[in-house]
Amino acid sequence: HPQKSVLGENSMLSLQDCRAKGGASGFKVAILGAAGGIGQPLAMLMKINPLVSVLHLYDVVNTPGVTADISHMDTSAVVRGFLGAQELENALTGMDLVIIPAGVPRKPGMTRDDLFNINAGIVKTLCEGIAKSCPNAVVNLISNPVNSTVPIAAEVFKKAGTYDPKKLLGVTMLDVVRANTFVAEVLGLDPQQVSVPVVGGHAGVTILPLLSQVKPSSSFTQEEIEYLTKRIQDGGTEVVQAKAGAGSATLSMAYAAVKFADACLRGLRGDAGVVECAFVSSQVTELPFFASKVRLGRGGAEEVYQLGPLNEYERAGLEKAKKELSESIQKGVSFISSK
Ligand code: NAD
Ligand code: LMR
């Protein structure tokens, strides 16, 4: 029993778990990397999500403490902890949605690609576990560099014969969250009323905000466009520098991850019209993966939307984004195909 290793058989958590098994409806969600800077606040926010009935917290360290702590929150999701590789299978079995924030974060002076050497292997191992234990789950991949880790995950699933392109989603929601915030600041609006599509990928120039498509419909001076585009593209670096060696965005990322996971769960439930940006398998450009608006449904990303009309500035940005993206995607694919 998975709880044995966390709190022991006689804990209140086990009793609560036993009773909850009878009437629980809702989705089963696992977080891999649940004890980390993103993982902990993400676990807390998922525990209060009414669409979640079971929450599995997996990490290679510290899950007993995080699980004990979160399990005391008086919301209905049942929380179970799993520690170390030998418990990965139990953590994943039966899951509808797997969220992956496992891996090392940046320090000042690093690019996201500098994380490749460590995080590629972590993502590979975790995706092998998913292919084995919950091949039908929707996967939300947060670990950087997203532009390469999503292709890695796809290759792992292809090798295992379980790949469903609709169910693999790289999380770029933080770029959208930042774009909404910064654009709202410039326009003097409530950020909750602002919606900015951000397409391309999740690193530097591959992050391409489409300011010509902002809702509510708005116009910007060239100076505002350049300021906003750069601030959105450098948002991650702004946080890395401010944290000065203590990691990268964790709290805003947990918020963004929950916003995105909740959209995925509403899609799985069958809600109509759930549309968010994500980095997915795509035919929108000549690249095999690209972030754009997708419609989330029972099958995952059921529809990938075209970019819509771009202005000249955005078209130039798109060319730059595609060049870097193409290399990052290839690097991810080669990591698996060379094995
Ligand atoms: P962190 O170091 O605080 O936490 C990472 C956690 O992953 C740790 O608890 C660690 O033990 C765990 N871990 C390491 N190897 C593991 C394995 N094999 N299996 C399970 N868990 C494992 O880092 P963080 O700040 O939470 O960031 C995590 C990742 O998310 C980083 O790669 C970071 O760059 C990325 N990130 C992505 C976005 C995005 O928008 N997609 C935003 C912020 C951060
Ligand atoms: C972010 O955008 O905040 C994350 O990708 C973390 C980072 O390294 O910037």
Q: Is 178 in the pocket of ligand 2 (CB under 6 A)?
A: no
**Contact assessment for residue 172 and residue 132, using Cβ atoms and an 8 Å cutoff:** no
The ipTM, to two decimals, is 0.99
Catalytic residue positions?
202
pTM for the whole thing?
0.95
Query: How would you classify residue 109: left for phi > 0, otherwise alpha for psi between -120 and 50, otherwise beta?
Result: left
Q: Is 30 in the pocket of ligand 1 (CB under 6 A)?
A: no
Percent of the chain at pLDDT above 90? Answer: 92
Give the mean model confidence (pLDDT) for residues 118-136: 98
Span between the terminal Cα atoms of the chain, in Å: 34
Q: Is 106 in the pocket of ligand 2 (CB under 6 A)?
A: yes
Give dist(CA 7, CA 84) in Å, integer.
15
Interval 238-283: pLDDT, tens: 999 999 999 999 999 999 999 999 999 999 999 999 999 999 999 9
* Minimum CA distance residue for ligand 2 atom 9: 236
Query: Which atom number of ligand 1 is nearest to the Cα of residue 39?
Result: 26
Ligand nearest to the CA of 143: 1
The amino acid that residue 89 corresponds to is E
Q: According to the annotation, is 37 in a ligand binding site? A: yes
Which two structure tokens, joined as six digits, stand for 28? 């089963």
Q: According to the annotation, is 253 in a ligand binding site? A: yes
Q: Which residues contact 202 (CB under 8 A, 6 or more apart)?
A: 112, 144, 145, 146, 147, 170, 171, 172, 175, 279, 291
Give the mean model confidence (pLDDT) for residues 314-336: 98
Distance from residue 238's CA to the centre of ligand 2 (Å)? 9
Work out the pLDDT band at 339, boundaries 50, 70, 90: confident
Lowest mean pLDDT among 133-137, 188-192, 221-225, 334-338: 334-338
Work out the pLDDT band at 300, boundaries 50, 70, 90: very high
pLDDT score, position 259: 98
Other beta carbons within 10 Å of 63: 26
